[in-house]
Structure 1
């Protein structure tokens, strides 16, 4: 029991990973940058987004972005949903 509690405390000490869903009309590099920069305070050191997954669910484009800090460590993921999408899987988007 104590071991489990220590593991939980350790996970919390590492930090909370980002998990947002952002709704836009058209998913482009520019809209990704704009929406993420609006949420700069929530992103906690994120400088790059990497398009991890791109799919269509119920007629809506859904893109999953892996958020990276300056050391290349994952800081969590962000989902963007839109009516259209012009980004591709594997695309990196610098926020600065």
Structure 2
């Protein structure tokens, strides 16, 4: 999807363990027209621009992964906690920006 002039991205910096965990699950985003590649290539140095449809895809993937006991059998695992924290942050940014 190509952004229009009224589509405003959210700029978010993701780094460290949160970025590692997000990149671990980027293959779930394969149908999102390059979002998986953008996430895989992202280094976490500068903020990444994400549009509403990017955030919706990431939030859906994170929701599915966090609720999958095969992915994270221990909800006290550091990877789970970092990904859950990222999920809450992205969800909050999405709601503030797009009000949905």
TM-score, structure 2 as length reference? 0.25
The structure number with the bigger radius of gyration is: 1
TM-score, structure 1 as length reference? 0.26
Point out the structure with the larger strand share: 1
